[in-house]
Structure 1
Amino acid sequence: MKNYSQFDTEDFVQDPYFRKWVLGKLPPGDSFWPTWQSAHPGRQEQLEEARSLVVALQPDDRPADPDEVRLAVQDIMNDLDDRRRPFPLLRIAAGLLLLAGLGWWVWTALLPPGSREEVNRSALPRKIQLADGTRVTLSPNSRLKISEHYGQKKREVSLTGEAFFDVVRNPEKPFLVYAGNLVTKVLGTSFTIRATDDRVSVAVRTGKVTVYRTEKKPGSALSEEMILLPNQQAVMEKASLVKTLVEEPVLLESPVERFAETPVNEVFHRLEKAYGIRILFEEDQLKDCNFTATFTRESLFDKLSFVCETIQARYEVVDGQIVIDGAKCR
């Protein structure tokens, strides 16, 4: 067994067993690397750096012609502008080329400084930290492009696939995500974007998010604009942009568990506060209705269904809010 505790980043990248783990090619029952990672928390940063390189370069195990590799690396080094700081990963990439042959890295190395594309071809989510501290969890088969000038005046990225963003707050430099025909603009919050060829959705976890179309209406600085709050989402499908609720709203405060002959108006107010979702109903219409129940792990929609069934009412999601329709209680 190799002594992985003595490995540096380059050693991990060149190790076939490590590469197979990162790329999801190990048998399902092989838990060596997760166990090793847990036992060596001080090596986390090094492992993440090695993981990023393996995923980006996607090396295979075919031998390359040494002379071809040597000439290619030399050409890249000669092409680098003398004013540009040498690429810190050049030595590692050259080692990978010796293992994997010429490939995607040759194109990547010639990108302008600061401009890059992160691709997750593995079967597991991949965590990425941007220059300002913003954290992105990139889902499998997803792609994130980071602007060359990220963080200078604006913070801009573009997404294909799915990612969860935890954005560091900076009111002076908005964070923009371009996905399909939709732009998501935030100052600092957390949210998930799913972008496919025919559908884009933005679901908010915390904070406030603004979304709008990339195409603008004539005479307007921005196209149709929509403000999203926690547990709300915008869905753009077939050129239609609508606001609704996420499929499974999460609790923002302590769970609502017990009600004993509690006025229904209070029940709705407590649910509204717990989930951060506005619940609209006629106060006078339901003032004489009471509700008794104990909730455990039911979803918000299950709770609403139970309450409405008890008082002979119904609910509907309209424009990211919940509307209750019911008759007077007697």
Structure 2
Amino acid sequence: MKNYSHYQPDDFVQDPYFRKWALGQLPADDTFWTTWRATHPEQYDTLEQAKSLVVALRIESAPTDPAEVETAIAQILSGIETPVFKPPFFQNRWVQFAAMLVVVAGIGYGFWWNGFPSGRPKTLSNRVDSEQQREEFNSTPSPKTIRLSDGSEVILEPASRLLIKTGFGNVKREVQLTGEAFFQVTKNPEKPFLVYTGNVVTKVLGTSFRIKAYDADANVSVAVRTGKVTVFKQTAGQATRPTLSDEIILTPNQQAVFVKADDRLVKTLVEKPVMLSKPADNQPLEFSETPIPTVFSSLEKSYGVKMIFDPDLLKDCNLTGTLTNGSFYEKLTLVCETIQARYEVVDGQVVIYGRGCK
């Protein structure tokens, strides 16, 4: 297999396999280039330059040697008439002219593309990259709301990019994210919503969640606000097809973090759990000589976070006070200090360790 890691735009343009992908001529199940681009973010701009050239000029595959193509193009540009073997493909004046157009267009595109500090025009926030997908890029300092054809909404944070497959919602609902975004997905059990972020695939039916995946070196996190989300780790499998790890199921206030240094998914709680529902009977979290197991159950229902403890051990412990103010962790710390216990977050759940009260 070729090593595309150090390819330049002209190298990609001359590659028949790449050209077929750029022109949408590969089978639907051939995801090599989509996967390769996701796993090589440092080559994103180079790939897009070559792809835009192929699409714009409609460069079709031809039975020629790349070395011969380079030689012929060099002759056209330099005007050197040194005799050189020209295959039938390059004996046609129109083909020679087309080859010259490729080079000139490539040079012009390079100046146009690289002439901006960010590597792309600052005004280019919504553009069609190819026949297979469109791009939404937030170049503003504020979050940008994107409404998808299925009714779902994506709040795209600054300097973030969302790639949306053409035909989104017809058969599949698939997008690719670089950066940070909050998703509010319209429920559709027959068409799961898939978000690709580097090595992580997030699958939902209808829910709200946030994903952070800014660059190749940073960890990827998926935090759930409502509903249920399934997260997989994507790894290189046989040939060019990626494989998925065992799923991690997330519920509200849980998150999965893909730790790149360890190449693993970790399930934990979000940094700031939010209250999902009011306490039972719409009463505030006020307690008077209330058994601690009841206090923990109230917190569990309010935040949707599973609390694991020994009810028999803590049945003689009581709490008098109000837990209206403060964060989830502050409330948890206050309760544990009152009964001389401690807590630990394990696999997206809270485990309480205590000696009981006698």
User: Shorter-normalised TM-score: what interval?
Assistant: 0.5 to 0.7
Q: CA deviation at 1:214?
A: 1.4
Q: Which of 173, 178, 183 pairs up with 2:201? A: 183
Report the AA paired with residue 302 of structure 1.
Answer: E
Report the Cα distance in structure 1 between the residues aligned to 2:173 and 2:342, rounded to whole angstroms.
Answer: 43
The answer to whether structure 1 residue 133 and structure 2 residue 148 are counterparts is: no
What is the aligned counterpart of 2:276 among 252, 255, 266?
252
Range with greater deviation from structure 2 (190-199 or 122-131): 190-199
1:240 corresponding residue in structure 2: 264
2:201 partner SS: strand
Which among 209, 212, 215 is matched to residue 232 of structure 2? 212
Q: Does 1:201 align with 2:221?
A: yes
* AA in 2 matched with 1:247: E
Against the structure 1 CA distance between its residues 216 and 267, is the aligned structure 2 distance closer, same or farther, given a 3 Å change threshold? farther
Contact 2:173 2:194 in 1 (8 A): yes
1:111 matched to 2:130? The reply is: yes
Q: Confirm or deny: 8 A CA contact 2:233 2:264 kept in the other structure.
A: no
Q: Is the 8 A contact 2:317 2:357 kept in 1?
A: yes
CA separation of 1:297 and 1:216: change in aligned 2, threshold 3 A: farther
Q: Distance in 2 between matches of 1:312 and 1:188?
A: 41
Alignment partner of 2:235: what SS? coil
Summarize deviations over 1:63-86 as a string: whole Å, max 9, x none.
Answer: xxxxxxxxxxxxx8x99xxxxxxx
Corresponding position of 1:275: 303
- Cα distance in 1 for residues equivalent to 2:127 and 2:330: 49
Deviates more, 1:118-127 or 1:250-259: 250-259
Q: Which runs of 5+ in 2 are unaligned?
A: 1-55, 59-119
**TM-score where L is the length of structure 2:** 0.61
CA-CA distance at 1:108 after TM superposition:
3.8
Could you tell me how far apart the structure 2 residues matched to 1:315 and 1:128 are?
Answer: 40
Q: Cα offset for 1:115?
A: 2.5
Output the aligned Cα RMSD: 2.7
User: Which residue is 1:166 aligned to?
Assistant: 184
SS of match in other structure, 1:215: strand
Specify the SS of the correspondent of 2:244.
coil
2:252 aligned residue: 230
Aligned equivalents of 1:314 and 1:168: distance in 2?
A: 40
* CA distance in structure 1 between the aligned counterparts of 2:285 and 2:181, rounded to whole angstroms: 32
Q: Which residue of 1 aligns with 2:324?
A: 296
1:109–1:270 Cα change, 3 Å:
closer
TM-score by length of structure 1 reads 0.66
Paired residue secondary structure (1:188):
coil
SS of alignment partner, residue 301 of structure 1: helix
- Tell me the matched-pair count: 232
Q: How does 1:42-61 map to 2 (within 5 A)?
A: none
AA of the residue aligned to 1:250? V
For 1:109 and 1:284, the matched residues in 2 are separated by 62
Q: Residues 126 and 139 of structure 1 are in contact (CA less than 8 Å); yes or no, is this contact kept in structure 2?
A: yes
User: Residue 297 of structure 2 aligns to which amino acid in structure 1?
Assistant: H
Aligned to 1:45: none
Amino acid at match of 1:226: I
Give the letter aligned to residue 325 of structure 1: Y
CA contact (8 A) 1:264 1:290 kept: yes
Which protein is bigger by CA-based radius of gyration?
2
Identity of aligned residues (%): 56
User: Would the aligned equivalents of 1:217 and 1:223 in 2 still touch at CA under 8 Å?
Assistant: no
Go from structure 1 to structure 2 and tell me whether the alpha carbon gap of 1:261 and 1:110 turns closer, same or farther (over 3 Å shift): closer
1:226–1:115 Cα change, 3 Å: same
1:326 Cα offset (Å): 0.2
> Would the aligned equivalents of 2:340 and 2:354 in 1 still touch at CA under 8 Å?
yes
* Structure 2 counterpart of 1:266: 294
Amino acid aligned to 1:131:
S
Question: Aligned to 1:308, which of 336, 339, 344?
Answer: 336
Q: 1:260 to 1:110 in 2, by over 3 A?
A: closer
The change in CA–CA distance for 1:317 and 1:109 in structure 2 (over 3 A counts) is closer
Question: Structure 1's 116 and 292: CA in aligned 2 closer, same or farther, altered over 3 A?
Answer: same
What's 2:169 paired with? 151
Q: Is the 8 A contact 2:228 2:251 kept in 1?
A: yes
1:113-171, Cα deviation, whole Å (9 max, x unpaired)? x7310000110000000000000000001000001231122100000000000000000
Task: Give the letter aligned to residue 284 of structure 1.
Answer: D
- SS of 1:124's partner is coil
Q: CA deviation at 1:110?
A: 6.8
